[in-house]
């Protein structure tokens, strides 16, 4: 994970902008550099993952063009060989060094060619323009704003731009910025026609693509680790990785010290696949002590995201402090594709599909944001196999009638796809879904709610929540989170489009809390 920043104009000096850039030092603790372009600046903070020597340090340059990129370019070795045949030379083992030759050959069409998770800023020496782009899901973060002294500024995190820009905006995934405007180059949610094959054929397509997605994300020059909750998604990623690598992998799980649910399932999965497994526990006080820090690093006021981030942050903090792991594979993005507990209530096939489309398009403000910030603030890199472009496009194209839970078990297609491989015990493969913020222990959310309840009287709550016209807090917990957010990101609440909640227009989903525990079908999920 790295940090990038780019200024289109020289309205400030390098010494002026350096403090803003250093706010994300943890994303790239190995080396930092800010260079002047003929019109502005480019900055890069490096966490060395591919090509560990100093030759992999960015910005890369080519005949007056410069680029900084926080990303992983999958299949870059084949791209590099092809470019070498065309006469280009390379100085490092970094995957991102292929970007400028690709841009020279393909221009702005390059972005739709990349199999990658990335955010980049490129200075075109011929035009004198700054170009920026972000991967189709938004796995790698990028924000922008207009400097109070003129010019557009791009940066990895919103915190880089606080005090620099009056309004901070998330860079839209699947877009590039060039010639002064944003252009969408990819839409993974667009489906021309549905795949309506038999179950075995469709499941084989899921299986083959997920295995390929995990396989390509195991390519790293730095040590790998895996977050393992004991749920279906992270367990599958770990089991596939262990099978592909042919050796024990390092897995990590976290839970409350009093009532963890996930820890026993994570241990069972780890034992089954022969992993080198580490458990981390957290106390009520550790949760409360971490709350403000987590909101500050996330840059959100959303209830679900904050709840789910506390355990992830504390787990990643322990990994950073106790191990040499630099890259973590995670199980995010499966829910958006295959369904949550609440999508069992979808009133029609098309409603299910449209909900998946909405969740995928907004993912960069919720689960993807959570995974990136919790991991990167601890100087680690996140890789997300379920976010593989080919995998996402395939699953989105499956007939929603097949994806809906008409089988008595959510995510049935994903489970069936790996049933014959025996990668996991049936108790894990067919375990009911439990949301991470609940499964670390129900006491965590209960403790957070109780803590917020103690902070405000009913009268104080009513008076203080009405200060916020945009996405007005509706519980004492949401007010607490909003007030902490405003302390670090004053006036920037619109960076998040709304509270992550079940689709309240559906029967059975009109709840006042995002926890799946509020749904009638929660059942055995929390046991």
First to last CA, the chain: 35
Q: Is 2 a catalytic residue?
A: yes
List, as one string, the DSSP characters of 83-98: HHHTT---SSS-GGGG
Decide: 403 and 352 in contact? Cβ < 8 Å: yes
Q: Which two tokens stand for residue 121?
A: 């800023």
Q: Are 253 and 277 in contact (CB under 8 A)?
A: yes
* Active-site entry in 2, 165, 203, 315: 2
Pair 465, 135: CB distance under 8 Å:
no
Element (H, E) at 225: strand 224-227
Instruction: Give the separation between CA 471 and CA 459, rounded to whole angstroms.
Output: 19
**Cα angle: 483, vertex 382, 157; to 5 degrees:** 40
For CA atoms 367, 372, 373, 375, the dihedral sign is: positive
CB 468 within 8 Å of CB 335 = no
**Token pair of 68, please?**
């900084």
Kindly give the residue spans of alpha helices, DSSP state H, lying in 22-87: 76-85
Beta strands 381-383; 327-329: pairing state: parallel
Whole-angstrom distance, CA of residue 36 vs CA of residue 83: 27
Give which of 249, 226, 225, 222 is closest to 94, Cα–Cα: 222
Tokens of 55: 């030759």
What is the number of helices (H) and of strands (E) in the chain? Answer: 20, 17
Question: What's phi and psi for 230, nearest 5 deg?
Answer: 90, 0
Using only C-alpha atoms, the chain has a radius of gyration, in whole angstroms, of 23
Separation of CA 74 from chain center: 17
- The H or E element containing residue 68 is strand 65-73
For 82-228, strand residue ranges (E) read 116-124, 129-134, 143-146, 152-155, 169-170, 175-178, 181-184, 224-227
Residues assigned a catalytic role:
2
């Amino acid at each position: 994970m790295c940090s990038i920043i780019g200024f289109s104009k020289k309205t400030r000096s390098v010494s002026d902008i350096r403090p803003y850039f250093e706010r994300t030092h943890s994303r790239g603790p190995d080396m930092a550099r800010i260079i002047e372009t003929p019109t502005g600046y480019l900055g890069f903070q490096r966490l060395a993952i591919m090509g560990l020597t100093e030759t992999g340090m960015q910005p890369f340059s080519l005949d007056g063009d410069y680029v900084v990129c926080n990303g992983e370019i999958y299949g870059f070795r084949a791209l590099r060989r092809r470019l070498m045949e065309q006469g280009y030379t390379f100085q490092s083992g970094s995957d991102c060094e292929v970007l400028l030759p690709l841009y020279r050959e393909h221009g702005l069409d390059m972005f739709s060619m990349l199999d990658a998770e990335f955010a980049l800023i490129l200075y075109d020496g011929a035009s004198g323009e700054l170009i920026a782009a972000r991967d189709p899901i938004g796995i790698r973060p990028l924000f922008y704003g207009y400097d109070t002294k003129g010019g557009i500024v791009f940066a990895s995190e919103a915190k880089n731009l606080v005090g620099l820009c009056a309004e901070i905006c998330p860079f839209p995934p699947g877009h590039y910025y060039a010639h002064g405007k944003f252009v969408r180059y990819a839409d993974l949610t667009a489906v021309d026609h549905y795949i309506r094959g038999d179950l075995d054929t469709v499941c084989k397509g899921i299986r083959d693509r997920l295995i390929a997605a995990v396989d390509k994300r195991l390519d790293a020059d730095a040590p790998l680790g895996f977050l393992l909750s004991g749920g279906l998604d992270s367990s599958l990623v770990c089991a596939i990785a262990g099978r592909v690598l042919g050796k024990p992998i390092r897995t990590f799980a976290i839970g409350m010290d009093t009532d963890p649910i996930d820890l026993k399932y994570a241990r069972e999965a780890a034992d089954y696949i022969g992993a080198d497994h580490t458990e981390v526990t957290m106390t009520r006080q550790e949760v409360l002590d971490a709350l403000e820090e987590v909101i500050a690093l996330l840059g959100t006021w959303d209830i679900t995201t904050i709840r789910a981030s506390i355990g992830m942050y504390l787990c990643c903090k322990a990994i950073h402090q106790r191990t040499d792991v630099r890259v973590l594979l995670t199980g995010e993005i499966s829910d958006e594709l295959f369904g949550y507990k609440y999508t069992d209530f979808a009133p029609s096939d098309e409603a299910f599909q449209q909900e998946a489309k909405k969740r995928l398009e907004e993912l960069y403000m919720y689960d993807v944001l959570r995974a990136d910030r919790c991991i990167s603030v601890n100087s680690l890199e996140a890789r997300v196999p379920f976010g593989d472009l080919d995998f996402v496009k395939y699953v989105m194209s499956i007939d929603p009638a097949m994806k809906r839970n008409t089988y008595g078990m959510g995510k049935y297609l994903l489970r069936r796809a790996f049933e014959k491989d025996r990668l996991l015990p049936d108790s894990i493969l067919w375990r009911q879904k439990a949301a991470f913020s609940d499964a670390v222990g129900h006491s965590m959310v209960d403790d957070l709610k109780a803590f917020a309840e103690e902070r405000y009287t009913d009268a104080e709550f009513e008076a203080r929540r009405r200060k916020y016209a945009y996405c007005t807090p509706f519980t004492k917990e949401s007010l607490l989170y909003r007030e902490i957010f405003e302390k670090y990101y004053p006036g920037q609440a619109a960076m998040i489009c709304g509270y992550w909640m079940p689709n309240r227009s559906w029967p059975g989903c009109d709840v006042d809390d995002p926890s799946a525990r509020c749904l009638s079908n929660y059942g055995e999920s929390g046991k």
